[in-house]
Each structure stands twice: as structure tokens, then as C-alpha cells.
Chains A and B, each alone.
Chain A
Amino acid sequence: MALLQLQGLTKRYGGIVAVNDVTMSVEPGEVRAVIGPNGAGKTSLFHLITGVVKPTLGEILFDGHRVTAMPAFGRCQLGMSRTFQLTALFPEMSARENTRLAAQARDKKRWLPLGGRAVFAEASRRGDAALERLGLTHVAERPAGLLSHGDQRLLEVAMALAQQPRLLLMDEPTQGLSVEETAQAVEVLGNLFAGGGLTVLLVEHDMEVVFRLATKMTVLHRGTVIADGEPEDVKADPAVQDAYLGGYT
């Protein structure tokens, strides 16, 4: 069964149709990229999936649960963790505290107002493991706001990983990075995904990045899905070439 299923998802802003009758799914274990030219509706679709906005029509199913009307934090509690297009961190906390707070959200006893040494210990353990997976252990004690831009992006991924997500949602993971930083980030993420066990849905416009990371692709054009499948097939699809890839090949 698909982990995430979108059925006839539509979002209208007044007369503008940002997302038009999108039906797609994400199977466990795949790394799916949603691509499309500017204004294709990628970001709107991402907002619908993460719960930032509610759809005009259609349903969102996560692991069999209907989450269409569920607030963002509720979806996260079901196992959807996300990263932001513009890096969102706790700048005055150390990198460790950032991942610890992320991991703590998964603890049933996170509510306990007093004490909670055990909650912190368990969250730190998971947070540190996530930092190590992304090669950030050497900057763990530094305030997140003082890290390099590339490290900040990776820290955000580490925070999502610390939550041991069932679905990792990434909004343009290389947005705003320099050429070198992008190459570095792609390498780290590629290794991470190759390790298996993660289900990822990422929105990205950088084709280089998409073909390096994704195992499945969905192409959006003016809010509508025009292609869906293996990267090689999608690349060869004439409709996609027409709409988007243009001179890419």
C-alpha cells in the first residue's frame, strides 16, 4: 500500500488554480521528486501535503489515515517530517539542542513539565545519531545561527531524521546554496538515501540534483500532473520535454 496518497487534490486561490486534480502516490522506500517549471504548483502542492494550507477539493491519505483536514503538527506526529525552502532553525541553540528538540517531539512523555531527565537523554541520543549521519558531529556545540549555509541545510535534514520519520518531505533542499555547497549537499543526501530505509518526497527545480537523487519522478505543469514514473522514462517523455526540459538533454 502506498504510504502517501493524493486523490484529486485541487487548490484554487480565487480564480487561479494552483493545483489541479492531482492524483499521485509515494510508495515506501522510494525517493520521489516533484519537478516542474516555475509556477507549476510545486510549492502549493507541498503546502497541501504538509498541512500549511487546506485543499479546495480532494483527499490526502497517509498510511491509510485521512489527514486532509489535520493540522501540520498532527501530521508530523503521524510520521511526516519536513524541511523548509528557507532554512528554519533555532539560531541561538546549539546544533545538538536543535536535533534534541526535534527528537523530543517523538517522545510520549514530552509533556512532562518537571524533571524529564530521561526524556532529554533519549532525545539527545537520537539527535546525536542524526548529527553523525549527516557528518555534523564536529559542529554539534556551535549555535545553529553561526553555522555555514550548507551546514545549516544539513542540520535541518538532521532534525527531520532525528524524528525517525516515515516520510521525509523536503522543499528544495539545495535552494540558495552555492555550486560547491550544492555538490556537497547532493553527495551527503545521496549517501543518506542510498543507505535505504527512508521514504522521501522532495520538491526541486534543479534537474542536476533531481537526477542524482530521485528514484521516481512526478512532473507538474500548470498545476496538473503530465508525467509520472522512472527518471529515464520521464526524461524521454515528449510532453515533459515540451513543457519543461526543453534544451536540458
Chain B
Amino acid sequence: MRTTIAMAGLLALMPLGLPPYAMTLLTEALIMGLFAMSLDLMVGYARLISFGHAAAYGLGAYTCGNILLHTEIPLPFAVLLSGVFSGFVSIGVAWVCTQATGVSFSMLTLAFGQLLYAVAFKWTDVTGASDGLAGIPRRPGPFGTTFFAGKLGFYYLTMACLFGGFLFARALVRSPFGAVLRGIRENEAKTLSLGYNTRLYKIAVVAASYMLGGMAGALYAPFAGFANTELLFWLLSGQALIMTIVGGTGTLVGPILGAAFFLLVQQQLSIYTDSWALFFGIIFIGFVLFAPEGIFGLARRRRPAESH
């Protein structure tokens, strides 16, 4: 907890020292961090490897975009609503996908993600098809404040979502519910035979994951001012999985670091080469081979005394 507060304090002070350009990058990193962390709930805690997590991101982004374009709902509420909506939709997705396990589950999540991608291309009224939604505003409020509409305020809103999401996810995995998830991860047949309806637990964790992932997407839409089909594309699903694995699965904090690391490397490498993804691929392979516990695991290995 002390570490969490220290980290929050550090991030809260960032705007004092960083130039506006870096602040934009940091805001994006926090959004991506929330997204990768939400995926970790599924991948790291229940071994539900999703290849379609962009579905959560895109759902959140399009929902939030529409809310902000067509209603007067203040930005923070729009973000929360979009997250809840995304989580709600995922119950149906999870109900279908959890019919299968292992690789088949992954393939179904991928298929669902691509299905949404295809729908977004056709459903012009809602998604703007290939043009996407443009000019998404940051509605003022609540209580008439325009703080969150500004760059600084938006940064703090993103930070609040990330820390709120982190505390929620951490409470979830440390609860009796989380203990059952760990059981499913280690031996699902045994968990079932102990009397747990494992499928319901899996559906519940997918919903929680989609809710947080949807919030991340919902933040991105007003951050960038637009939402397009790329936010639903499988490439983003793959990148989220890479951030989660490089950061360290089953740690919640790791994937946040992984997302920041990914964006930073992308930022730096793309100055020199267009094929930055090639080099990141090598970094990824290196992590999988030599540090499967990820960045967070490496940090913990250095200082085993300090946990949590």
C-alpha cells in the first residue's frame, strides 16, 4: 500500500517537471497501462489467454465517443459508463468463449474481436465506418468544472482511473473470489470437483477485465479526439498481450510497467527506423526466454525482501 501511495504521489508530481510533449506520452502510457492490467486479470490470474482484448478497448472507445458526441454527460461519468457497458457486453462474449478452453478459448476471443472489427466497418451510424468518429469533445463537468477537459485535468483523470482500477483489481485477486481464480489457473478440474462452478467464475473475471479495458478505451477516445476501427484490430490485442507478458503476468503492476516500456521503446526506436516492431520482437523473445517473469519479476528478483 505504501508503494502504491508513493507511486501515485510521484505520478501526481510529474506535470511539474515534464514538458507538455512528454505529458502526452505519459498520459497515453497510463491509458495503455490500464488496458494491459485489465488483460492481466484474465491472463495472469485465470490463464484465460485472450487474443481479442482490443474488443474491450474498442467497445469502450466507441461507446464513450458516442456518449460525448451525442449527450451532455460529463467526461468522467462517460468514461465510467463506457467501462460498465463494455463489462456488461462481455458477459455474453464470455458465455460463448468459455464453452471452450485453452487454445480454442483464445481463438474464440480472437474471432469475437474480429467480428466487432467487421461490424465497426459496416455500422456507419454508430461507428462512422472507415472514417471513424472524429472531433470527440471532452464535455465539462461534473458540477460545471472544466478541469478534466484540460490537458492537466485529463492526465489526473487518467491517473485516477488507473489507480482506482488497480485497487479494484488487487482487492479482487486477493479476495476469496481471487483464490478460486488461482485454483482454476492451477487445476481447473479439481476446482470444479470441489464444488465451484468454474465457468461462472471465468465469466465474472472476463467481465471485470472488460470493464477496466473498456475504461481504458473510453479514456483514449477523448484523449485522441477520435475513435477508429484500429482500436478493435487484432494488432492491438497482440500488443496488449506483449505488454502484459513483458511486464510480468499475474502481478497487475507488471503489465502497467510493460505498457510504459512498450510505448517508450516504440517512441525511441521509431525515430531511427520504421521497422521498430522488428526490434521490439527481439526484446520480446528475450523476455520470454530469459525472464519469463517479466520486468516486475526481474525487479522483485533483485529485491526479494520487498513484496507487494
B195 touches A76 (CB 8 A): yes
A111-134 interface (Cβ within 8 A of B)? 111-116, 119-120, 123
> Pick the contact of B195 from A77, A90, A100, A109 — CB < 8 Å?
A77
Known A72-B193, A163-B194: A90·B187 in contact at CB below 8 Å = yes
Chain A residues with CB below 8 A from B197, complex form: 71, 73
CB-based contact B176/A110 at 8 Å: yes
Question: Which residue in chain A gives the minimum CB-CB distance to B208?
Answer: A113
Contact A91 B204 (CB under 8 A): no
A159 touches B194 (CB 8 A): yes
Stretch at the interface among A32-40, A81-89, A194-202: A81-89
Cβ–Cβ contact A91 & B186, under 8 A: yes
Q: With contacts defined as CB atoms under 8 Å apart, how many contacts are there between chain A and chain B in the complex?
A: 85
Given A84-B190, A88-B190, A90-B186, A97 and B179 contact (CB-CB distance below 8 Å): yes
Closest partner residue, chain A, to B186 (CB atom): A90
Whole-angstrom distance from the CB of A118 to the nearest CB of chain B? 10
List the A side residues contacting B193 at CB < 8 Å: 50, 72-73, 76, 82, 84, 88
Check if A73 sits within 8 Å of B196, measured CB to CB.
Answer: yes
Q: What is the chain B residue whose CB lies nearest that of A102?
A: B194
Interface presence of B177 (CB below 8 A)? yes
Contact assessment for A73 and B182 in the assembled complex, using a CB-CB cutoff below 8 Å: no
Q: What's the interface size class on B, roughly?
A: 20 to 34
- A232 within 8 Å of B by Cβ? no
The one of B172, B183, B187, B195 that contacts A73, using a Cβ cutoff of 8 Å: B195
Check A105 against B195 for contact (C-beta < 8 Å): yes
**Which of B179, B189, B198 has a CB less than 8 Å from the CB of A101?**
B179
Q: List 5 A-B contacts (CB under 8 A).
A: A76-B195, A101-B194, A113-B204, A114-B171, A123-B176
Q: Could you tell me how many residues of chain A have their Cβ less than 8 Å away from some Cβ of chain B? A: 36
A89 to B188, CA, bound (A): 10
A107 touches B176 (CB 8 A): yes
B-binding residues in A (CB < 8 A):
50, 71-73, 76-77, 81-82, 84, 88-93, 97, 100-102, 104-107, 109-116, 119-120, 123, 159, 163
Instruction: Assess the B179–A100 pair: CB atoms within 8 A.
Output: yes
Inter-chain contacts of B189 with A (CB < 8 A): 88
Residues on A with C-beta less than 8 A from B204 are 113
Is B180 part of the binding interface, using a Cβ–Cβ cutoff of 8 Å? yes
> B224: CB under 8 A from chain A?
no
Determine whether the beta carbon of B175 is less than 8 Å from that of A104: no
B192 at the interface (CB under 8 A from A): yes
CB distance from B212 to the nearest CB of A (A): 13
A163 B187 Cβ-Cβ under 8 A: no
The CA-CA distance from A114 to B175 in the complex, in Å, is 5
Q: Please tell me if the beta carbons of B194 and A105 are within 8 angstroms of each other in the complex.
A: yes
Contact residue among A50, A71, A93, A123 (Cβ-Cβ distance under 8 Å from B182)? A93
**Contact between B186 and A113 (Cβ–Cβ < 8 Å)?**
no
Q: What residues on B are CB-neighbors of A123 within 8 Å? A: 176
